[in-house]
């Protein structure tokens, strides 16, 4: 039996078109982009300039506002740590449902003496903008919120939060690892000061990401990786030309194909949901049905332990939560934040659809889940 990958929130396969764009920069055009004294370095830097423009174009930014990182985790750290004033204690606001790279950084900052507030979410996983407004203090430096939740796919009201932060003179950071190229993001319109991205979530290579740094944040930003002063002094280190070229091509494809892909995934998700309800039964949606990325279904199956279900599905790649917290015995903190009981959270799985998902794979997945759930219930 062929394996079926339905865990597109954890990672994505590299698009063959992206691979083709990258290959020459491993061998033929291998120059160091910082060696501007000769044509090899100049050629590499020119390719990076094109890629940065393509990344920026997705979010209504410019190439000089993009700082390349090793991924969204480093970008989140740079955004949160790099904008704090030296010698002063600040207040940071986020949500209980954020990615561990944000929550872990906030926990470390709290140990260093900074204050943090983690906002609750409602039963659909959404943040109350008015509650964030009430939580802002005179010492609040930054509000950090995921655009699209990595577990339940819920799209937060980032535009409203951005406008709030701008009116209160607070920096607004968005973790867009799951939202970049998927939901409409415009840095100026949405009043976003900092935005984190990861290439491997958009059919690009692993090991490269970016942080958008707007003018207000740039004036405050201090590098967290120091050395040669590359990237305007905001992040030192030799830029990985092949990875950045792939990141740029992946970004271009995400923008150009977004409308058609959203429509296709919406059809696939409807197909998957309808069949699961009909053939498995006792299935419930976790998180908002209306404010949700179309490629995500986080589902709870009555009387079915999720870990046991996954063990019975060796040919189907689905998960019980974020890849960055997989393997922990505790039920998902995101699901618990929605108000689910321990038992309900332990009955939940995340199914992610993506560019390579076919209708036939959806049908096969339904058949496999149906058979496994029936055995567990029996």
| Average confidence (pLDDT) over 32-53 | 96
Compute the distance between CA of residue 180 and CA of residue 89 in angstroms, rounded to an integer: 31
pLDDT digits (tens, 9 = 90+) for 286-339: 999 999 999 999 999 999 999 999 999 999 999 997 555 555 567 799 999 999
Q: How confident is the model at residue 112 (pLDDT cuts 50, 70, 90)?
A: very high
Closest to 30 measured CA to CA, from 240, 336, 297: 240
Token readout for 114 is 């900074």
Q: What is the mean pLDDT of the chain?
A: 96
Q: How confident is the model at residue 169 (pLDDT cuts 50, 70, 90)?
A: very high
pLDDT digits (tens, 9 = 90+) for 211-241: 999 999 999 999 999 998 999 999 999 999 9
Task: Judge whether residue 162 has pLDDT over 90.
Answer: yes
Q: Say which of 46, 130, 266, 324 is annotated catalytic.
A: 324
Residues linked to residue 297 through DSSP beta bridges, in sequence order: 351
Closest to 276 measured CA to CA, from 378, 368, 175: 368
Compute the distance between CA of residue 265 and CA of residue 271 in angstroms, rounded to an integer: 10
Residue 1: the pLDDT is: 77
| Average confidence (pLDDT) over 28-39 | 95
Compute the distance between CA of residue 214 and CA of residue 114 in angstroms, rounded to an integer: 23
Q: What is the CA radius of gyration of the chain?
A: 21
pLDDT digits (tens, 9 = 90+) for 256-274: 999 999 999 999 999 999 9
Q: In terms of C-beta distances under 8 Å and separation of at least 24 residues, what long-range contacts does 359-364 make, across chains too?
A: 359/268, 359/271, 361/4, 361/6, 362/268, 362/271, 362/272, 362/275, 363/271, 363/275, 364/4
Q: Is 324 a catalytic residue?
A: yes
């Amino acid at each position: 039996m062929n394996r079926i990958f339905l865990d597109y929130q954890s990672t994505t396969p590299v698009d063959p078109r992206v691979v083709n764009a990258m290959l020459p920069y491993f061998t033929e055009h291998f120059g160091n982009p910082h060696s501007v004294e000769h044509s090899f370095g100049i050629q590499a830097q020119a390719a990076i300039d094109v890629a940065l423009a393509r990344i920026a174009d997705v979010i209504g930014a410019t190439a000089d506002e993009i700082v390349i990182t090793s991924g969204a985790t480093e970008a989140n750290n740079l955004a949160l740590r790099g904008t704090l004033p030296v010698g002063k204690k600040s207040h940071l606001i986020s949500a209980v449902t954020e990615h561990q790279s944000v929550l872990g950084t906030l926990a470390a900052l709290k140990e260093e003496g900074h204050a943090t507030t983690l906002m609750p979410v409602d039963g659909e996983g959404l943040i109350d903008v008015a509650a964030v407004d009430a939580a802002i203090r005179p010492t609040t430096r930054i509000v950090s919120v995921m655009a699209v939740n990595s577990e339940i796919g819920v799209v937060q009201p980032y535009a409203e939060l951005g406008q709030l932060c701008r009116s209160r003179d607070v920096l607004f950071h968005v973790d867009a690892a799951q939202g970049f190229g998927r939901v409409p993001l415009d840095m100026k319109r949405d009043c976003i000061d900092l935005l984190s991205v990861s290439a491997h979530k958009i059919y690009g290579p692993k090991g490269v990401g970016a942080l958008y740094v707007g003018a207000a944040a740039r004036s405050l930003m201090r590098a967290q990786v120091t050395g040669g002063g590359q990237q305007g002094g905001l992040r030192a280190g030799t830029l990985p030309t092949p990875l950045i070229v792939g990141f740029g091509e992946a970004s271009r494809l995400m923008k150009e194909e977004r409308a058609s892909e959203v429509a296709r995934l919406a059809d696939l998700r409807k197909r998957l949901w309808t069949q699961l309800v009909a053939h498995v039964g006792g299935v419930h949606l976790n998180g908002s049905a209306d404010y949700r990325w179309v490629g995500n279904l986080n589902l709870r199956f009555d009387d079915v332990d999720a870990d046991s279900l996954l063990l019975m599905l060796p040919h189907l790649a689905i998960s019980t939560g974020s890849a960055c917290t997989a393997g922990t015995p505790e039920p998902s903190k995101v699901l618990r934040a929605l108000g689910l009981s321990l038992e309900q959270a332990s009955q939940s799985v995340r199914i992610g659809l993506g560019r390579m998902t076919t209708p036939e794979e959806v049908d096969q997945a339904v058949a496999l889940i149906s058979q496994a759930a029936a055995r567990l219930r029996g």
